[in-house]
Chains A and B, each alone.
Chain A
C-alpha cells in the first residue's frame, strides 16, 4: 500500500539530480577562492615578514618591503571614507526618511543605481578632470580619495538605505504619535537600530576601496616614492597600484615579492571583511527585537 510507484521514483531521481547540480555549483564557487588564496600563501607566504611590512622597497623594487604602499593605502581609504560616509549616510537618510515618493526621488534613485554601474576607469577619468584639473588638487591623495569616494558613494547609500528600511515602520509610527519630529525619531529610534547595517556597509566599502587600482592610478598614486605622505596634497604609493606596477611594468622583481604584495593586499581586504562580520554579529546581539 505504501510502496513507491514509478512516478515516485521518477520524482526522486529528478530531485537527486537537482540537488547534485546545485551542490556542484556551490563547490565550483568556493574552489577559485581557495585556489587563489592557496596560491598566494604558497608563493607569497615566504616573503611575508615584519621587515617586508615595515620597510620601503629597495633596489628597483626587487628587494625590500611594502611599507610606503601600505601607509598610502590607509591614507587613501581613510580620506575616501571621510568624504563618502557623511555624504552617503545623509543622502540615504534624506531619501529614506524625508523624501516624498515622486518622480524626482525615483530619478535620483535610478541615478544612484546607475552610478554604481559605472566602470572604475570611467570614474578615474572623471577624477582626473574634476579633482586633479578643475579643482586643482593635482595628483594627490585628496584627488585620488575623492575619486574613490564618488565611486563608493552609491554603495554606501544603498547599504544605508537598506539598513534604514529594515527598521520596522511601527517604531516610527510609535514615535510620531508621541509627537516626536522626524529628526527626533531618526536620532532616538531609527539610527540606533540601523547602525549595525550601516557600519557593515561602510566596512565592506573599505575593503573594496583598498583594492581599487584604476581610480587612483591617474589621480594620486605613484609607482615609487620613498617618503611617506605628510598631507592629503602629497602623492603616495598604494598597495593595489604597487602590485599592478611590479607585476606588469617593472622587470626583475622576484615572484616571491609580487605574490607577497598580493597576499598583503588580500589580507587587508579579508581582515576588513572579518571585522565587518564580527561587528555585525556583535551589534545583532544588541538588537532587542
Chain B
C-alpha cells in the first residue's frame, strides 16, 4: 500500500494504464522528480495539479519518453505503460509514441491541410503496412473528426491549411490526429491554457466525451478545470507526489496540509 496515496482496496495491478515505480529524473544535476510512484487507472481521466515547476509536465513527458529529446536527461526507476516497461531494451519508441498520444499546451497542427493532419499518423503507421484505399482514409478522417466534434465545422474545407483554424479548432484537430492510430493513452499538457473560456469549455467537453475509450492524463494549472473534468486527481509539489485520490475527495477533504494550502490558493 502506498501510504494512502491511492484509493485503497479497489484497484488491482492490471487496472493501471500507467504505473511508475521509484521514478527519479534529473535534468543534468537538477533533480526534477523524486521517487514517484503513480498509478493511473485505465479508462478514466486523471488530472495533475501543482505549482509551476513541480514536475507535472516532466512526469507527463516521461510517460511517452519524449523527454529524452533533451539529451541531458537521466532517469532511474520504472515506468510501466499497459503492463510493459517502456524503458526496457526491447521497446520500440515509435510503438510507444503510437500507443501514447500527446496534446500540447499550444495547439501545434502541422502546416499542411486539415485532411493531411488527421491522416498524418495513420499514413505513417497503417498505410506503410498495407494498401489503404481512399475510401478507407475518408472514413478514418470523418470518424476522427466526428469524435472530436469538429466534422461539421470543417467538412467543407478539409483541404484548407490547418493553421487557418481557430485555436480551439486547432486543439481539437490535434486531438483528432491522434485517434486514427488507436492509442490507449492520451497525455495532455495544459490543453486549454492557450484557449479563451468558450474554447476551454468546448475542449473540456470533448475530453470528457473521450473518457472510457481512452485513459487520459491531463496536466492543468486550472483547479476548477481539474475539479470539473477529472475523476482522479494528483497533487504534486517539488517533484514529489503529495496526494492522489478521487477528485472530489481530494478537493473536499485533502489528507495533507500542503494539498489543502494549494487548493485554497495559499501558494501557487
Cross-interface CB contact of A100 among B64, B71, B97, B174, cutoff 8 Å = B71
Q: Which bucket holds chain B's interface residue count?
A: 20 to 34
Q: Tell which of B66, B108, B125, B164 touches A170, judged by Cβ atoms closer than 8 Å.
A: B108
- Mark the stretch among A177-185, A195-203, A263-271, A273-281 that contacts chain B: A177-185
Per-residue CB proximity of B55-72 to A under 8 Å, as 1/0? 000000000101001010
B124 x A184 contact (CB < 8 A):
yes
User: Shortest CB–CB separation between residue B195 and chain A, in angstroms?
Assistant: 16
In the complex, residue of chain B having the shortest beta-carbon distance to the beta carbon of A182: B69
Name A180's closest neighbour in chain B (CB-CB). B124
The distance from the CB of A91 to the nearest CB of chain B, in whole angstroms, is 20
| Interface of chain B residues 61 through 117 with chain A (CB within 8 A) | 64, 66, 69, 71, 93-98, 101-102, 104, 106, 108-112
Q: Give the shortest distance, in Å, between B65 (CB) and chain A (any CB).
A: 10
Using A177-B97, A179-B95, A181-B94 as known contacts, say yes or no to A171 and B111 having CB atoms under 8 A apart: yes
How many A-B pairs have beta carbons closer than 8 Å: the answer is 66
Residues A178 and B108 in contact in the complex (CB < 8 Å), given A100-B71, A101-B71 = no
> Given that A170-B106, A189-B110 are contacting pairs, would A177 and B181 also be in contact in the complex, using a CB cutoff of 8 Å?
no
Q: What chain A residues lie within 8 Å of B41 (beta carbons)?
A: none
Check if B177 is an interface residue, CB within 8 A of chain A.
yes
**Does B161 sit within 8 A of A, measured CB to CB?**
yes
**CB of B163 within 8 A of chain A?**
yes
Out of B97, B111, B112, which one reaches A179, CB within 8 Å?
A: B97
Cβ of A171: which chain B residues have Cβ within 8 Å of it?
108, 110-111
Docked Cα-Cα span, A287 to B161, in Å, equals 10
Cβ-defined partner of B178 (8 Å) among A170, A178, A184 = A178
Assess whether B199 is interfacial by the CB under 8 Å rule.
no
- CA A171 – CA B174 in complex, angstroms? 12
Report Cα–Cα, A184/B94, bound state, in Å.
Answer: 11
Total interface residues on A, using CB and 8 Å? 22
A177 to B110, CA, bound (A): 12
Cα–Cα, bound, A179→B97 (Å): 5
Does A289 touch B at the CB level, under 8 Å?
Answer: yes
Query: Cα distance A179–B66 when bound, in Å?
Result: 10
User: Which partner residue on chain A sits nearest B163 by CB separation?
Assistant: A289
Q: Does A174 contact B (CB under 8 A)?
A: yes
Kindly state the separation between the CA atoms of A217 and B174 in the bound complex, as whole angstroms.
57
What residues on B are CB-neighbors of A175 within 8 Å?
110, 120
Among A232-289, those with CB < 8 Å from B are 287-289
Interface contact B161-A178, CB-CB below 8 Å: no
In the bound complex, how far is the Cα of B181 from the Cα of A101, in angstroms? Answer: 33
Contact residues in A for B254 (Cβ distance below 8 Å) = none
Residues of A contacting B69 in the complex (Cβ-Cβ under 8 angstroms): 173, 176
Kindly list chain A residues whose C-beta atoms are within 8 Å of the C-beta of B124.
178-180, 184
A189 to B120, CA, bound (A): 11
- The reply to whether B111 and A178 contact each other, CB–CB distance below 8 Å, is no
What's the Cα separation between A180 and B69 when bound, in Å?
13
Say how far A66's CB is from chain B's closest CB, in angstroms: 45
In the complex, whether A140 has a CB less than 8 A from a CB of chain B is no
Q: Which of B106, B109, B111 has most A Cβ within 10 Å?
A: B111
Q: In the complex, what's the smallest C-beta–C-beta distance from A200 to chain B, in angstroms?
A: 18
Provide the residues of chain A in CB contact with B94, threshold 8 Å: 179-181
A102 neighbours in B (Cβ, 8 Å): 71
Of the listed residues A177, A181, A193, the one surrounded by the most CB atoms of chain B closer than 10 A to its CB is A177
Pick the contact of B120: A100, A170, A178, A288 (CB < 8 A).
Answer: A178
A69 to B93, CA, bound (A): 56
B95 contacts which chain A residues (CB < 8 A)?
Answer: 179
Q: Does B51 contact A (CB under 8 A)?
A: no
- Does B43 sit within 8 A of A, measured CB to CB? no
Residues of B with C-beta under 8 A to A180: 94, 121, 124
A-B CB contact pairs (8 Å), 12 listed: A102-B71, A168-B108, A170-B106, A171-B108, A171-B111, A173-B66, A177-B66, A178-B121, A179-B96, A180-B121, A189-B110, A288-B163
Known: A174-B104, A177-B66, A179-B97. 8 other contacts (CB 8 A): A170-B106, A173-B66, A174-B174, A178-B101, A178-B120, A179-B98, A179-B121, A288-B164
